[in-house]
Amino acid sequence: MFKKTLNTEDTLKNSGLTDEEQQLFSNARPQAYEPYPIKAVEDFANWARANSLWILAFGTGCGAIELRPLMTARFDANRFGVAGRPTPRQSSVFVIGGYASVKTLKRIIRSYEQMQGPKFVIALGICPVNGGMYFDSYNTVNQFDQYLPVDLYITGCMPRPEVLVAGIMELQKKIKAGECNGANLYVENFDWYKSNQKKVIKNWDMPDYNW
């Protein structure tokens, strides 16, 4: 009942890629998540999502150090329904752990676009906000939300695991309230995000989304 037939104008040509490479990428423009028409059903779905956060931790920098203790007995993030997953397609929460270099950004984007919606992004540390101590580096991305939507910021350099737990609890509140709409924001402003991404990524061996 949720299957949608794609029109010709909704498909991508993936121009610039070989026939073999084209098979590695989706040929469809991303679709926005449509809430259940019955509010009570959507509220229940959000409750379930909030209490089942499957995290894809992308350790781009020093933030990755603080992510590991979350799953130990001391902090026990499992009690909040948090579980680490090895691949984007199994995950619902994408944690960007620190600064993002231009070279890394392409991998972040590809991982994000493989995740199923609804999906949520946590930016960990001050670096995704303004570049942090690398703000003037030629190879570091400042203002991460110019390239992917961010649902929750956890600032600090680096934030301790206790702060990460508090951030997870805040994300749960936002999900239950239906306030985490970053994935749909990405779809609605898709061309703007792609334009920003291409400004910094020069070797773009990914679908170019030229219509």
Torsions phi, psi of 28, nearest 5? -125, 140
Domains in the chain (CATH in brackets) are: 9-200 (3.40.50.12280)
Report pLDDT for 172.
93
CB 82 within 8 A of CB 89: no
pTM of the model: 0.84
The pLDDT, as a whole number, for residue 42 is: 93
Counting every residue written for the chain, the total comes to: 211
pLDDT band, very low/low/confident/very high, at 187 (cuts 50, 70, 90): very high
| pLDDT at site 136 | 85
Side by side, the strands of the sheet bearing 152-154 are 82-84, 53-58, 93-97, 120-124, 152-154
Question: Is it the case that residue 198 has pLDDT exceeding 90?
Answer: no
pLDDT, tens digit, 9 for 90 and up, residues 49-99 = 999 999 888 877 777 777 788 888 888 888 888 888 888 888 999 998 888
Strand ranges in the chain using DSSP code E only, listed in sequence order: 53-58, 82-84, 93-97, 120-124, 152-154
